[in-house]
């Protein structure tokens, strides 16, 4: 019984690490997307200011 509980905890720990990696990866993707949007907005603002 104790061994089963320890195995379950180890499995959950591994899954949590995987989830953490996925969150970090997703966060990086969101940052990149946000940066691209900001660059596009900056270009549009520059265009409007110079017109």
Residue whose structure tokens are 């907005």: 41
Per-residue pLDDT of 22-35, as tens digits, reads 999 999 999 999 99
pTM of the model: 0.66
Alpha-carbon distance of 38 to 51, in angstroms, equals: 20
Count of residues in the chain: 51
Alpha-carbon distance of 21 to 14, in angstroms, equals: 11
Alpha-carbon distance of 20 to 16, in angstroms, equals: 6
Tell me what pLDDT residue 51 has: 67
Q: 14-26 burial by CB neighbour count: b if 16+ within 10 A, else e? A: eeeeeeeeeeeee
């Amino acid at each position: 019984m104790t061994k089963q509980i320890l195995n379950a905890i180890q499995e959950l720990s591994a899954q949590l690490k995987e989830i953490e990696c996925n969150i970090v990866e997703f966060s990086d993707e969101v940052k990149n997307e946000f940066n691209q949007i900001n660059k596009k907005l900056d270009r549009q603002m520059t265009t409007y200011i110079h017109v």
